[in-house]
A and B are shown apart, each in its own frame.
Chain A
Amino acid sequence: MTLRDAIKERDAQRQADSIIQASKIARQQKIDTTAALLLIQGNYPNGIPAVLSNRDVFIDVGNKLETLMGLNARLVSWKASLTALKTEVHDADFEADIQTEINLIP
């Protein structure tokens, strides 16, 4: 292996590791945010009444939906990156870890 190849391999491993760590956190954030939205939905089985006193509820729901959109965008991007990096880490265990994370990203 040339030095350049070794550097590329190290960079790919470092980048993949970083994405995996962030992806794990993002997936948990997605679970937590979805759970919070379901809780709100449960609190208002007939829908949230459109009254002024519920202003903060609507803002909260909007913020959580925005968070979900952001998380989805990131996870899609990171999944694509992990797929691309998988063949460049040249380490069977690492490849397996990457594939595990890819499979967990919806």
Chain B
Amino acid sequence: MTFPMMFRRFRLRTGLLGVQSGQKTLASADTSTTVTITAVLKEKSILFFNYSSASAALSANINEVRGVLTNTTTITFDRGANGADITINWWVIEFEPGTPITIQHLAAQATSSTENVSISAVDLAHTFPICTCITSASVGTGKATVKADFTSTVNCQLSFESINNTFYGLQVITHQDWDVDVYTDSAASGDTTEDTPLSPSITLAETMLFGYAIFSVTGNPTADEWFNFGFTAVNNIQAVRTTSGKAANFTYYAVKTNGKIACQHDVSETIAGGNSVGNTAFAAVTIANTPVIVNNMANSVGNNSTNNTTTGEAVRLRSIMNSTTNCRTERAAADASTNIHSLSLYDFTNA
């Protein structure tokens, strides 16, 4: 390393610059809403969100939400059709300009069920995607599930079960100090669990998980056919659902942060039948800097409920830390079904 490069490294600030967060309602009459935030550098900022829906129907167009950091001061949340209140928890994690992280924000309409999205060249060993999508399709066709795979250093391939006015929001995140392992797997129609072995093993306390799953056959799944997934051991990711159903394909990104992000995972939390709230105890975190990730299908917000009907409000979850050690997970309404979900906390304080 030359002296000027060393000097530059020490002058540019690195690490976490700040976290903005909040809760936003996408009103029943609306298909989109915006949140104004304090100006950020988009290429240094990551958007996370999770949400619950008050819809009694499972309809993808009403219930699935896309989130996009549309410009320096605006987050846009939208969906394919109006019809019920959606309550969204959101976080924008912003890094100092000198941090070796770059986030590409891309949003467009998908014209193919295998959509190739051109990206600026990335080092795949340090890169992972965060993707959400929406559709105009109601129950039965073109559900808003998506799987994201890099097919080259300049292409991210998005796979949809089918498309029907499908729009995606994609963040491509490259951090030179984080190492990314990619795993693909599939579950057969008769499977209720699918284990994906990890090699090499990971350190749970410093590894983030971002996963994608789509059904490999079209049709309208009941709520208990949906998978959630998470780390069940240092060498395993497990996808689980209550009832065997449609075959599914998975892609997982194990993001090893090498001690920078404090990660916690819980794969078997529940909201009991008849309730709308569940609480999960975690080790203490800095609340303001800790987004909660719900590791499920359908824009990462679904569950493997015991409910086999098509009830949107029973299966979509929003989660947030309401104390340093407690994660509160809510669905919009109580339901007779038990809701089983997988949560991950990523504390960015020392990023």
Which A residues have a C-beta under 8 Å from some C-beta of B? 15, 18-19, 21-23, 25-26, 29, 67, 70-71, 73-74, 77-78, 80-81, 83-85, 88
- Cα of A21 to Cα of B97 in the assembled complex, Å: 13
Chain B residues with CB below 8 A from A23, complex form: 39
- Cα of A26 to Cα of B40 in the assembled complex, Å: 8
Closest 4 CB pairs of A and B: A26-B39, A81-B97, A84-B11, A25-B39
B41 at the interface (CB under 8 A from A): yes
> Number of B residues whose C-beta is below 8 Å from A?
19
- Cα of A81 to Cα of B43 in the assembled complex, Å: 15
Whether the pair B38, A84 counts as a contact (CB closer than 8 A) is no
Q: Can you offer 23 A-B residue contacts whose CB atoms are under 8 A?
A: A18-B41, A19-B41, A22-B39, A22-B40, A22-B41, A23-B39, A25-B72, A26-B39, A29-B73, A67-B38, A71-B38, A73-B17, A74-B17, A74-B39, A77-B17, A78-B41, A78-B97, A81-B96, A81-B98, A83-B11, A84-B8, A84-B12, A85-B12
Whether the pair B72, A74 counts as a contact (CB closer than 8 A) is no
Chain B residues with CB below 8 A from A25, complex form: 39, 72-73
- Count the A-B residue pairs with Cβ separation under 8 angstroms: how many? 56
User: Looking at chain B's contact residues, is the secondary structure mostly helix, strand, loop, or mixed?
Assistant: loop
B273 at the interface (CB under 8 A from A): no
Shortest CB distance A37–B (Å): 15
Chain B residues with CB below 8 A from A67, complex form: 38
**CB closest residue in chain A, given B45:** A22
Most chain A beta carbons < 10 A, residue from B18, B20, B42: B18
Interface mask (B1-16 → A, CB under 8 Å = 1, otherwise 0): 0000000100111000
**CB closest residue in chain A, given B11:** A84
**CB closest residue in chain A, given B94:** A74
Chain B residues with CB below 8 A from A77, complex form: 13, 17, 96-97
Q: Which of A15, A26, A71, A88 sits near B97, CB closer than 8 Å?
A: A15
Whether the pair A81, B18 counts as a contact (CB closer than 8 A) is no
**CB closest residue in chain A, given B97:** A81
Chain B residues with CB below 8 A from A70, complex form: 18, 20, 38
Whether the pair A26, B38 counts as a contact (CB closer than 8 A) is yes
Chain A residues with CB below 8 A from B12, complex form: 80-81, 84-85
Contact of A81 with B13 at beta-carbon distance under 8 Å, contacts A15-B97, A22-B39 already known: yes
Chain A residues with CB below 8 A from B72, complex form: 21-22, 25
Shortest CB distance A61–B (Å): 16
Shortest CB distance A90–B (Å): 12
- Cα of A67 to Cα of B8 in the assembled complex, Å: 30
**CB closest residue in chain B, given A78:** B97
- Cα of A74 to Cα of B38 in the assembled complex, Å: 9
- Cα of A19 to Cα of B43 in the assembled complex, Å: 10
- Cα of A26 to Cα of B73 in the assembled complex, Å: 9
CB-CB contacts below 8 Å: B66-92 with A: 72-73
Shortest CB distance A46–B (Å): 30
- Cα of A67 to Cα of B40 in the assembled complex, Å: 12
Shortest CB distance A74–B (Å): 6
Shortest CB distance B185–A (Å): 37
Chain A residues with CB below 8 A from B38, complex form: 26, 29, 67, 70-71, 74
Chain B residues with CB below 8 A from A73, complex form: 17-18
Shortest CB distance B217–A (Å): 44
- Cα of A30 to Cα of B41 in the assembled complex, Å: 16
Shortest CB distance B348–A (Å): 15
**CB closest residue in chain A, given B40:** A22
**CB closest residue in chain B, given A21:** B72
Chain B residues with CB below 8 A from A88, complex form: 8
Whether the pair B39, A29 counts as a contact (CB closer than 8 A) is yes
Shortest CB distance B41–A (Å): 5
Shortest CB distance A4–B (Å): 10
Shortest CB distance B97–A (Å): 4
- Cα of A25 to Cα of B17 in the assembled complex, Å: 17
Chain A residues with CB below 8 A from B40, complex form: 22, 74
Shortest CB distance A29–B (Å): 6
- Cα of A29 to Cα of B40 in the assembled complex, Å: 11
CB-CB contacts below 8 Å: B126-154 with A: none
